[in-house]
Amino acid sequence: MFGIVRPCRHRLSEALRTEWMAHLCGLCLTLRGDHGQFARIATNYDGLLVSVLTDAQTGRADAGRRTAGPCPLRGMRTASVARGEGARLAASVSLVLASAKVRDHIADGNGMLRRRPLALAARKVARGWDRAGARSGGTLGFDTAVLVEAVDRQTGIELLAGPGTPLTAVTEPTETATSAAFAHTAKLAGRPGNAAPLAEAGRLFGRLAHLLDAVEDRAADAAEGAWNPLTATGAGLAEARRLCDDALHGIRLALREVEFADPALAHTLLVHELPRSVDRAFGTTTCAHQGQQPGGPYPFGRQPPQGQPAYGQGPLGLNGPQHPYAGDRIPPGGGDGGHSGGPGGSGGWGPHLPPEPPGRKPPRGLLAGCGVFLGLCCTCKMCCASEYEGPWSRKSREGCCQSCDGCDCCDSCDCCECCGCCDCGG
């Protein structure tokens, strides 16, 4: 599955872990029920946020649950799963965005999709998902044409982008699509006053999703000769990180304006797990249960020059006390990229920029990935393994039913008390 909000299960309390799985399984089963078995491959970690936000605003999560039958990905266990308008909107959005991802891979010539027959077949599947998403969204009063139009503009923007093009110009279609999806949850929940702040949170979440995908795929795209926004625009990792931190801060501020009935899971995912997703993509942290990352705290396993602090450490680092985004302070120039750069000059944070990520295994092609996927399913590694290699991306994944006793990670409480965001009791 794709998506940037992949919370480590060791950080979620039992109640939040159960709730998160209810939305994940609910999205998967809604895709199957409304659009057929094959549509389940559009299940993704970020799409379930739409379902989470809807329930968080209504406060009627228990009423929107049903007991699902045994599933191999749950270790053949039954479970209480989400249903209703939130899950159906999440399914509609997931289909359209999965279609966009397929078309993006076709345009970039990734893997097996560079072959014309497979590209034609994948394009046909993507068009079918667009129509299915539109039908499902229409029953909920959501016009998916906003998503499709935004996705269609992406290819043209990428063709025009070059050195010096702002990254925000490239991420704009994704921002528009996620903004519309987040805002519609307010309509479904009967809280129209939440639409504007949720639209802003969705816009910034879309920016994060696009940038983190670009950062994680940079080495693989370079190996394949595929288009990547960081490479095409000449923007470095420091600029991408600055925009990501900007977006994180903006999301926190936007969520403060949202009226939630039960904010615990939404707050945990959007306020606590998003920064960890950013750190994971840039290689600046690792979950404690996985041990210290190779090479120490310096990103990508390299060591800083002698006498210099590691990236993300010390007074000029992204986590240092002088960093303008520390806590809830508003960054210079506003929360949307108005900062002109740190002590090291324009667009950077000091003279020591983060190193480039090392090369990693190229992603598998479509057929090879399908073979590996079947093997993972048949051996139950997708649900039971502590770690396995993604069938297509070859990125490290954790089994969806994996759990750990005695972990030294911090558990999320049911009602966060650490920053007072979202009026959730802190």
- The tens digit of pLDDT for each residue in 259-292 reads 999 999 999 999 999 999 999 999 886 555 554 4
* The model scores a pTM over 0.75: no
Neighbours of 1 (CB within 10 A): 17
Q: How far is CA 361 from the centre of its chain?
A: 22
In this model, does residue 170 exceed pLDDT 90? yes
pLDDT at 194: 97
Q: What is the mean pLDDT of the chain?
A: 76
List the one residue out of 117, 142, 147 whose CA is nearest residue 130.
147
Alpha-carbon gap, residue 148 to 396, rounded angstroms: 31
DSSP category for residue 276: H
Residue 47: name the closest of 66, 24, 68, 30 by CA: 24
Q: 405-424 pLDDT, tens per residue?
A: 333 333 334 334 444 444 44
pLDDT score at 287: 57
pLDDT at 208 (0 to 100): 95
Rounded Cα gap, residues 364 and 370, in angstroms: 9
Phi, psi dihedral angles at 156 (to 5 degrees)? -65, -40
* 324-356 per-position pLDDT tens digit: 333 443 333 344 433 333 333 333 333 344 444
Angle at 54 between CA 49 and CA 55, to 5 degrees: 100
Give the amino acid at 128.
Answer: G
Residues 6+ apart with CB under 8 A from 290: none
User: For 86-90, 166-170, 327-331, 368-372, which range has the lowest pLDDT when averaged over its residues?
Assistant: 327-331
Per-residue confidence (pLDDT) for residue 41, from 0 to 100: 87
Examine the pLDDT at 143 and tell me if it is beyond 80: yes
143 CB-contact burial (10 Å; exposed 0-12 / middle 13-18 / buried 19+): middle
Tokens, residue 294: 């190779």
Arithmetic mean of pLDDT, 43-51: 91
Please say whether the beta carbons of 4 and 281 come within 8 A.
yes
pLDDT(302) > 70:
no
Strands 388-389 and 396-397 come out as: antiparallel
Is there a contact between 408 and 289 (Cβ–Cβ < 8 Å)?
A: yes
Task: Using DSSP, state whether 63 is helix, strand or coil.
Answer: helix
Burial class (CB in 10 A: 0-12, 13-18, 19+), 396: exposed
Look at residue 140 and give its three-state secondary structure.
Answer: coil
Spatial contact of 380 and 391, defined as CB atoms under 8 Å apart: no
The 10s digit of each residue's pLDDT in 365-399 is 777 878 788 777 766 666 666 577 888 778 777 66
Sequence-separated (6 or more) residues with CB below 8 Å from residue 249: 325, 328, 330, 331, 335
* Residues paired with residue 389 on neighbouring β-strands, in sequence order: 396
Question: Quick one: tokens of 303?
Answer: 């060591």
